[in-house]
Structure 1
Amino acid sequence: MINYKALINGEFIDNGNWLEIYDPYNNEVAGKVTALKPEDIEKAFMFARNAQENWENVDLITRIKLMNDFKNLIEKNKNEIAKIMTSEISKNLKESLTEVERTIELIEYTLEEAKRMEPLALTGEGIGAKNKIGIFSRVAKGVVLAISPFNYPFNLALAKIIPALVMGNTVVFKPATAGSLVGAYIGKLSIEAKFPKGIFNVVTGRGREIGDIITSNKEIDMISFTGSVPIGKNIKEKASTKDLVLELGGKDPALVLDDSKLENWSKQIVDGAFGYSGQRCTAIKRVITTNKIADKLVPMLKSQIESLTVGSPYENKAITPVIDQKSADFIKGLIDDSVSKKAKVLCGNKFENNLVYPTLIDNVTLDMRVAWEEPFGPVLPIIRIDDLNEMIKIANDSEFGLQASVFCSDISNAINVAKKIKAGTVNINGKSQRGPDCFPFLGIKDSGQGVQGVRESLLSMTRYSGIVINY
């Protein structure tokens, strides 16, 4: 068992209070992190504010070098980070290591892109204002609160932290409870990389006890949050700043419009639906297609789903336990509701505590909860609709609007349908997914606000500052 302390102003905090983090696979304590008190939170923001001006005055190349030193430490410790991740969120070892390696690439790209955040130089000649030159530079917003989710505790943490720091902001970082061991380890690496005091602070503890205290601090200039819709809405209501980037839930549909490449498309759908046991906001969470196509597609999906390995993340099984028992119970409730309304469970619907076997549900109708609610688990409903306009309507009637997929060999038709779907991104002939990380990533409706992605995060964590020269 490992114990990691919170980090405030370059010092590890041991206040005598600890929060136990449980391994979802065996329900044993994987480790402990400091459970901070409200006064500790206040200090973290105070030190972040005090350090911000000096940090912004450090030249960009020096900031980049420091972030690169930090990245090199990640590379050196990537296997240990992956093992910690597996122990606290039950992502299998192979996928955990992939997440760390993906994050290294993300940091490299971010540091290169930061060099290209060049000032905008303008003249007033175009509207008759002579003898004026305006220089508009991107400058730091100030203190950034970064809040990461459990499902990608390393990648989605550093996708916020690195853009903020390299552009001259200071950061207060709150990892999800499950994910706090990885989050605190990031703090440990920041000390080894010799980050200046106060520029990066890690606050850990029970979200229900300190969540509102963290988000309402008056020193916050911006909040970047990834997590659930209820918490995201609470942040919008109670946050001390309205400068927010929120990445929330999804009910991402896959519309299959013809049967020309079903073998390839079925693999995309299964991979998109069941990666990390479906615990992804961009997971395919419902398939909408015609009866004729479904009759061919569903047996392919069933065969592939039944071949997925189930069990221990330490043995690199494809389907591992969902994050906790509460999540498993919620998933079971969705399946039970569909069964009670005459849906057909073709495989799965088997539970061993919080290990949920991959489940395929056919003949799902619109009065069933699973047609609309996000399971955040290994469940794939099939909705049979023969009218294309009705398929599009069902895709759009969701409260979510994160991503969607359209599978169709006629690219012209696929693009026309994609344009009608109300989502942040529509993938044609491919699964819904966050990456590549250099692409803009966004959701509409209850799926979030603001835009992420490498360049978009650098922009969102800075503002224009203009100087006009009169000559």
Structure 2
Amino acid sequence: MFDYINGENNTFKNLINGEWVSSISENFIDIKSPLDKSLLGRVPAMTKEEVDSAIKYAKEAQKKWRDTTISERGKILYKAADLLLEHSDELAHIMMMEIAKDRKSSSSEVSRTADFIRFTVDTAKNLSGESLQGDSFPGFNNNKISIVRREPLGVVLAISPFNYPINLSASKIAPALMAGNSVILKPATQGSLCALYLASIFEKAGVPKGVLNTITGRGSNIGDYITTHPGIDFINFTGSTEVGTRISKITCMVPLLMELGGKDAAIVLENANLELAASNIVSGGYSYSGQRCTAVKRILVVDKVADELVAKIKEKIKLLIVGNPIDKDVDISPLISTEAADFVWDLIEETKSRGANLVIGGKREGNLIYPTLFDNVTTDMRLAWEEPFGPVLPIIRVKDKDEAIEIANKSQYGLQGAVFTESINDAFYVADKLEVGTVQINNKTERGPDHFPFMGVKASGMGTQGIKYSIEAMSRPKATVINIIR
């Protein structure tokens, strides 16, 4: 199926107005595997003129798509979900090669995405408008009725990250399409092969020409241009806080939905089930080598139980399998780039030099960093505050739950937090005071189920995602008032 969007010399094309087209400028970006630096393909570095063309076609196509029935849109998306599962093995392999995700997680991402698309269709079918009587408000009689329905916004710019190139592209595309919008998909450069494959699946499922278009190219070259383009009516972005902040500063009167960085804390109280806490911390902190916005990124544990918790976490880290996901089933795989690995390694070196206790790890082979745990990290160390996006966790010892809350809330981020305790009163006490979008009680920080609301506060994002919430964010209420003449 990949041959469908593959040109000569392993050069890929973009989907523009129902056609797969190459770069007019003949400029391309090499996509190399983080596993072995092999060349996987070359994607077009699109020009501003090509961006203009894609948005123009999306604008025109949306006018017809908005009048397509919900049922017809749903049939197309159901077909896309079926095609995803049919090509699951092929897509999982591409994901492993392009972003170094382990086989199990890659396959799971594909199946989860198919479920997401189907649930989106079902949810959209059941979203309804309302009618309002005028006489329910003081001073008005019953000769006014407001009929309220949801309208699409127009052209949605979907900007997806490298770490979930299928799921976090489809989680933008599917709600946007079901709401009646057209979509411009701008994937992260590393991850663009997966995104182009996903676009081909939507096209094969029957999405009309121009309704879904793709744009590849480096954000440093076309990022500002596309996000400030007058033809864009909504921006749905997942990525770094740095880029998200820039988008929010340079855009004007365009609604935004953003999932940005995090420094999610796992707070472990003295009355916690330490075995449960340790299992969730290791799973939440080290899966996909910690390259997740919602990964556990620091542990705030009451000193009374810290030694026991550290011992349990260390033993579980020893069981993690490190290596190349192509060769074997692994838990820890190479990071996405040398630059990413350099950043994580710099944090590790700085933390060691500042006197924290290296419990386990602290080893590097190229882009592969072994799962690392530090104890006795203090709040004057970078690792206490910066998001590593890698397999390294700090343990910060606290005297009680209030100190844990205080440290957690000092972060610039506010995506999620977790509290481990067997006291329901303590659980709700901590949950009530944490400045985050979601609090997990006795579970790792994570996204999903996908119909739950998902949001961040402070530097972790704006707006609310989750299937129903995403559809509502990418549409607007429109009122038609009937004035009854008596």
TM-score range, shorter chain: over 0.9
Counterpart of 1:392 (choices 402, 405, 415) is 405
Does structure 2 retain, via aligned residues, the 8 Å contact 1:218–1:240? no
Does structure 1 retain, via aligned residues, the 8 Å contact 2:270–2:304? no
Matched, 1:269 2:281: yes
> How far does the alpha carbon of each residue in 1:2-33 deviate from its partner, in whole angstroms, 9 at most, with x for none?
54211111111112332111111111112222
TM-score by length of 2: 0.95
Secondary structure at 1:283 match in 2: coil
Does structure 2 retain, via aligned residues, the 8 Å contact 1:215–1:240? no
Structure 1 segments, 4+ long, off by >3 Å, are none
Matched, 1:40 2:40: no
Corresponding residue for residue 8 of structure 1: 16
Counterpart residue type for residue 313 of structure 1: P
Counterpart of 1:22 (choices 3, 13, 32) is 32
Corresponding residue for residue 415 of structure 2: 402
Secondary structure at 2:126 match in 1: coil
Q: CA RMSD in A?
A: 1.2
Q: Which runs of 5+ in 1 are unaligned?
A: none
Corresponding residue for residue 221 of structure 2: 209
Secondary structure at 1:101 match in 2: helix
In the TM superposition, 1:33-182 aligns within 5 A as 33-127=43-137, 128-182=140-194
In the TM superposition, 1:341-356 aligns within 5 A as 341-356=354-369
Does structure 2 retain, via aligned residues, the 8 Å contact 1:19–1:32? yes
- Structure 2 CA distance, aligned partners of 1:5 and 1:335? 40
In the TM superposition, 1:321-340 aligns within 5 A as 321-340=334-353
**TM-aligned CA deviation for residue 274 of structure 1:** 0.5
Sequence identity percentage: 46
**TM-aligned CA deviation for residue 390 of structure 1:** 1.5
Secondary structure at 1:284 match in 2: coil
Counterpart residue type for residue 168 of structure 1: G
**TM-aligned CA deviation for residue 169 of structure 1:** 0.2
- Structure 2 CA distance, aligned partners of 1:222 and 1:212? 14
Corresponding residue for residue 233 of structure 1: 245
- Structure 2 CA distance, aligned partners of 1:291 and 1:390? 11
**TM-aligned CA deviation for residue 114 of structure 1:** 0.2
Does structure 2 retain, via aligned residues, the 8 Å contact 1:224–1:244? yes
**TM-aligned CA deviation for residue 415 of structure 1:** 0.7
**Larger CA deviation: 367-376 vs 187-196:** 187-196
> How far does the alpha carbon of each residue in 1:97-120 deviate from its partner, in whole angstroms, 9 at most, with x for none?
100000011011100000111111
> How far does the alpha carbon of each residue in 1:343-387 deviate from its partner, in whole angstroms, 9 at most, with x for none?
011111101111010000000001100000000000110001113
Secondary structure at 1:346 match in 2: strand
**TM-aligned CA deviation for residue 299 of structure 1:** 0.6
- Structure 1 CA distance, aligned partners of 2:141 and 2:97? 63
Counterpart of 1:458 (choices 468, 471, 476) is 471
- Structure 2 CA distance, aligned partners of 1:215 and 1:117? 29
Secondary structure at 1:433 match in 2: coil
Corresponding residue for residue 316 of structure 1: 329
Corresponding residue for residue 371 of structure 2: 358
Matched, 1:424 2:437: yes
> How far does the alpha carbon of each residue in 1:120-162 deviate from its partner, in whole angstroms, 9 at most, with x for none?
1111221243121111001100000000000001001000001
Secondary structure at 1:320 match in 2: coil
Counterpart residue type for residue 4 of structure 1: F
**TM-aligned CA deviation for residue 37 of structure 1:** 1.3
Counterpart residue type for residue 150 of structure 1: F
- Structure 2 CA distance, aligned partners of 1:139 and 1:242? 16
- Structure 1 CA distance, aligned partners of 2:400 and 2:315? 27
Secondary structure at 2:113 match in 1: helix
Does structure 2 retain, via aligned residues, the 8 Å contact 1:4–1:185? no
- Structure 1 CA distance, aligned partners of 2:20 and 2:240? 29
Corresponding residue for residue 303 of structure 1: 315
**TM-aligned CA deviation for residue 259 of structure 1:** 4.5
Does structure 2 retain, via aligned residues, the 8 Å contact 1:258–1:409? no
Matched, 1:371 2:390: no
Does structure 2 retain, via aligned residues, the 8 Å contact 1:273–1:285? yes
Secondary structure at 2:66 match in 1: helix
Does structure 2 retain, via aligned residues, the 8 Å contact 1:236–1:242? no
**Larger CA deviation: 401-410 vs 180-189:** 180-189
- Structure 2 CA distance, aligned partners of 1:55 and 1:37? 27
**TM-aligned CA deviation for residue 414 of structure 1:** 0.8
**TM-aligned CA deviation for residue 206 of structure 1:** 1.6
**TM-aligned CA deviation for residue 388 of structure 1:** 2.4
Does structure 2 retain, via aligned residues, the 8 Å contact 1:402–1:444? yes
Counterpart residue type for residue 84 of structure 1: I
Does structure 1 retain, via aligned residues, the 8 Å contact 2:77–2:202? no
Matched, 1:247 2:255: no
- Structure 1 CA distance, aligned partners of 2:311 and 2:447? 28
**TM-aligned CA deviation for residue 171 of structure 1:** 0.4
**TM-aligned CA deviation for residue 239 of structure 1:** 2.5
Secondary structure at 2:288 match in 1: helix
**TM-aligned CA deviation for residue 203 of structure 1:** 0.5
**TM-aligned CA deviation for residue 205 of structure 1:** 1.3
**TM-aligned CA deviation for residue 194 of structure 1:** 2.7
Counterpart residue type for residue 9 of structure 1: N
Paired positions, count: 471
**TM-aligned CA deviation for residue 181 of structure 1:** 0.2
In the TM superposition, 1:181-196 aligns within 5 A as 181-196=193-208
Counterpart residue type for residue 447 of structure 1: S
- Structure 1 CA distance, aligned partners of 2:129 and 2:93? 42
- Structure 2 CA distance, aligned partners of 1:61 and 1:239? 34
- Structure 1 CA distance, aligned partners of 2:405 and 2:465? 26
